[in-house]
Structure 1
Amino acid sequence: MLKINCFVILVFVGVQINFSQSVHIKGKVESNVDVENIHVINKTAQTFTITNRKGAFEIPVSLHDTIVFSSIQQKSKSVIIDESMILFKTLRVTLEEQINELDEVTVGRVLTGNLLSDVKNVEGDPPINFYDVGIPGYTGKIATQSERRMNEATTGSNGQKLKWYSPLTGSIPLNPILNAISGRTKQLKNQVKLEEKDELMQSIKGRLSKDFFVSNPLDEALKMDFFYFCADDENFIKRCKNQTDFNILTFLRMKYNQYLENLNKPTD
Structure 2
Amino acid sequence: MIKYITIALLFLGFLGFSQETEIESQTLSAIVINAQTDKTLESVHVVNLNKVLGTITNQKGEFSITASVNDTLYFSYLGFKSQKIRVTNDMFKFKDTKISLTELAYALEEVIVRPYQLTGYLEIDVKNMPINNAYQYSISGLNVGYEAGKKNPSAATKVLGAILNPADLLRNLFGKKPNQMRKLRQVKEDDAIRDLLASKFDRETLTELLQIEKVDIEDILNNCSYSKSFISTANDLQILDAISSCYEEFKVLNRKK
TM-score exceeds 0.5: no
Bigger CA radius of gyration: 1
**TM interval, short-chain normalised:** 0.3 to 0.5
TM-score, normalisation: structure 1: 0.40
